[in-house]
């Protein structure tokens, strides 16, 4: 795999920035604008994410075909792909504008917005919509770089934009501006993130040419025939978690949306961190597909499942076992109802992380259509069950709905879709997913349930000793017993604190 160490360290660096930014920004915004406006802002972020599905799967399709062209050694195919992709993105951007205007107009009615905040909510929504529309044409070039496995360039743009957004929020939001200011800062940060990678495009793809003659019906048909299934996957993967906050906001109101949005941010961090390194495998799977190396794909799949589950266990067990302490230490009193939501979402990390990796593997092999149908059914079931449970038991029922439908989708994806495609047994795949949890659970019981519940944890700083103990004890235990030997060697090789290497490490 190309530049894996740099890409992996970079993506975790971005998430380190995200964690610091999230720890700082969320309490600042929450206490500056209040529960009602925070709930509306969370609702805006969740409902506008639906616009991102208007990508129609073009983005991940460009990554897949670009990586395959790299594996096949065909740079001209990359130019044809880019020309078709830019044409499709331009059309998508035009279509997105009226859809965004409609969403902006409807937001106040959907989330029961007070009269004095109606136009502020609409303007904030329009600014967020503008940031999403900008992703379509500019995102093409980021996707081309990702196809070359230059995640490090994307990571640089992400890290700078996150830090800039956090700094501007902390400085300006407490002084006023509310929802509109937050929307404007979101647009600014998005533009920074998309523009920075352009500086590497010519260096990485010196032969790239955007030409009208490359845009042919056959080229458009080839890309869109694949992207349609990717679109369905994109809908299912993006919408499922956004739907949670939307359902809570519509059924229970903006204050309940705040109750759900607080643990949802911790979930997003845990899930994002646990899948950060395994996301790097998508173009690698596609490149191996282009080169015809199926055995290398299988090794990557097993290593990804073990590594992803190890990260999920390490990051989500504290959310599962210490939810009350984490919520209280982060945002203070008054959000006890968020505790059970966090428990449910922490469990979702355990099942959605491997499901996401299987989606990448099957998509890279152009076997994504049955998975797309599965996930669309799961999303539909999730929405129905979420509405029922939200009405019956409150916000935490929505997290349970997501857990139940995700778990069912994972079982089907492993047994029916991935095992036959990979030429592997269900037992081998299930063992790879479960292996890191076996050593992690007893250590978590001692550190998080035992020591973690002895004291009164009022702030993030007072929780820090427990976090350090878990990082050392849990991290070492999971690495030692949850990973294969080749993966441990690869981990030692990739870490910047050591220069040890081993020929066997390449198999991880």
DSSP designation for 199: G
Other C-beta atoms within 10 Å of 171: how many? 10
pLDDT at 505: 35
Residues comprising the chain, all counted: 508
pLDDT at 161: 92
Q: Quick: pLDDT tens for 156-171.
A: 888 899 999 999 999 9
Residues 315 and 270: their CA atoms lie apart, in Å, by: 6
Nearest residue to 483 (alpha-carbon basis) of 355, 357, 304, 359:
304
Nearest residue to 342 (alpha-carbon basis) of 261, 229, 427, 276:
261
**Dihedral over alpha carbons 100, 101, 105, 107 (to 10 degrees):** 10
pLDDT at 492: 65
Helix, strand, coil distribution of the chain in percent, nearest 5 = 85, 0, 15
Residue with tokens 């720890």: 23
User: Where are the chain's structural domains?
Assistant: 1-215, 229-498
Residues 478 and 464: their CA atoms lie apart, in Å, by: 20
Exposure of 125 in the CB half-sphere (CA atoms within 13 A):
32
CB 377 within 8 A of CB 416: no
Nearest residue to 313 (alpha-carbon basis) of 358, 266, 271:
271
Instruction: Show Cβ contacts of residue 293 under 8 Å, excluding neighbours closer than 6 positions.
Output: none
Backbone conformation region of residue 334, classed left if phi is above 0, alpha if psi is from -120 to 50, else beta? left
pLDDT at 122: 92
Instruction: Show Cβ contacts of residue 247 under 8 Å, excluding neighbours closer than 6 positions.
Output: 383, 386, 387, 390, 398
Per-position pLDDT tens, the chain of length 508: 556 667 767 777 787 787 778 778 888 888 888 888 888 888 888 777 777 767 777 887 888 888 888 777 777 888 888 898 888 888 888 888 888 889 889 888 888 888 888 999 999 999 999 988 888 888 888 888 888 878 788 888 888 999 999 999 999 989 888 899 999 999 999 999 999 988 888 888 888 888 888 888 888 887 877 777 677 666 666 666 667 877 888 888 888 888 888 888 888 888 887 887 777 787 788 878 777 788 888 888 999 999 999 999 999 999 999 888 888 888 777 788 889 999 999 999 999 999 989 988 988 888 878 888 888 888 889 889 999 999 998 889 999 999 999 999 999 999 999 999 999 999 999 999 999 999 999 999 998 887 766 666 667 777 888 889 999 999 999 989 988 887 777 666 655 544 433 333 333 3
pLDDT at 165: 92
pLDDT at 180: 92
pLDDT at 407: 94
3-state secondary structure of 65: helix
For 340, the token pair is 């059970």
pLDDT at 503: 37
For 224, the token pair is 């869109």
CB 361 within 8 A of CB 301: yes
Give the containing element (helix H, strand E) for 504: none
Instruction: Show Cβ contacts of residue 508 under 8 Å, excluding neighbours closer than 6 positions.
Output: 299, 303, 307, 484, 486, 487, 489, 490, 491
CB 324 within 8 A of CB 341: no
pLDDT at 437: 93
| Contacts of the segment 417-420: beta carbons below 8 A, 24+ positions apart | 417/358, 417/362, 417/367, 417/370, 417/371, 417/374, 418/301, 418/358, 418/361, 418/362
């Amino acid at each position: 795999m190309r530049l894996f160490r740099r890409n992996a360290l970079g993506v975790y660096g971005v998430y380190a920035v995200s964690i610091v930014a999230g720890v700082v920004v969320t309490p600042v915004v929450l206490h500056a604008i209040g529960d009602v406006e925070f709930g509306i802002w969370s609702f805006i972020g969740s409902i506008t994410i639906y616009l991102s599905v208007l990508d129609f799967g073009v983005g991940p399709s460009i990554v897949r075909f670009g990586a395959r062209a790299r594996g096949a050694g065909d740079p001209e195919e990359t130019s044809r792909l880019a020309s078709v992709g830019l044409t499709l993105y331009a059309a998508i951007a035009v279509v997105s504008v009226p859809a965004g205007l409609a969403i902006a107009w409807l937001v106040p009615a959907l989330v029961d917005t007070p009269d004095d905040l109606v136009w502020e909510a609409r303007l904030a929504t329009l600014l967020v919509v503008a940031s999403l529309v900008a992703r379509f044409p500019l995102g093409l070039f980021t996707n081309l770089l990702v196809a070359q496995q230059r995640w490090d360039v994307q990571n640089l743009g992400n890290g700078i934009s996150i830090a800039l957004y956090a700094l501007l929020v902390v400085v300006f939001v407490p002084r006023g501006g509310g929802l509109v200011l937050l929307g404007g800062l979101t647009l600014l940060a998005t533009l920074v993130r998309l523009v920075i990678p352009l500086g590497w495009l010519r260096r990485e793809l010196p032969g790239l040419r955007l030409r009208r003659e490359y845009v042919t019906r056959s080229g458009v048909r080839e890309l869109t025939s694949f992207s349609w299934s990717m679109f369905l996957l994109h809908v299912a993967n993006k919408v499922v978690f956004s739907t949670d906050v939307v359902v809570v906001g519509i059924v229970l109101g903006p204050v309940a949306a705040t109750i759900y949005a607080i643990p949802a941010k911790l979930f997003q961090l845990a899930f994002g961190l646990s899948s950060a390194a395994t996301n790097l495998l998508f173009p690698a799977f596609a490149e191996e597909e282009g080169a015809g190396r199926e055995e290398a794909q299988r090794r990557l799949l097993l290593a990804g499942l073990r590594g992803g589950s190890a990260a999920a266990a390490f990051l989500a067990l504290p959310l599962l076992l210490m939810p009350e302490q984490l919520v209280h230490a982060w945002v203070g009193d008054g959000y006890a109802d968020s505790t059970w939501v966090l428990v449910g979402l922490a469990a979702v990390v355990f099942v959605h992380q491997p499901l996401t990796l299987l989606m990448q593997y099957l998509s890279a092999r152009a076997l994504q259509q049955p998975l797309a149908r599965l996930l669309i059914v799961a999303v539909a079931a999730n929405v129905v069950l979420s509405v029922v449970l939200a009405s019956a038991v409150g916000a935490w029922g929505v997290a349970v709905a997501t857990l139940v439908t995700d778990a069912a989708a994972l079982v089907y994806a492993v047994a029916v879709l991935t095992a036959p495609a990979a030429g592997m047994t269900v037992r081998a795949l299930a063992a790879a997913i479960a292996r890191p949890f076996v050593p992690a659970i007893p250590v978590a019981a001692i550190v998080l349930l035992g020591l973690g519940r002895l004291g009164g944890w009022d702030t993030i700083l007072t929780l820090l000793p427990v976090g350090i103990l878990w990082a050392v004890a849990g991290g070492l235990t999971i690495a030692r017993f949850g990973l294969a030997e080749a993966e441990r060697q690869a981990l030692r090789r990739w870490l910047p604190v050591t220069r040890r290497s081993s020929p066997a490490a390449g198999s991880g």
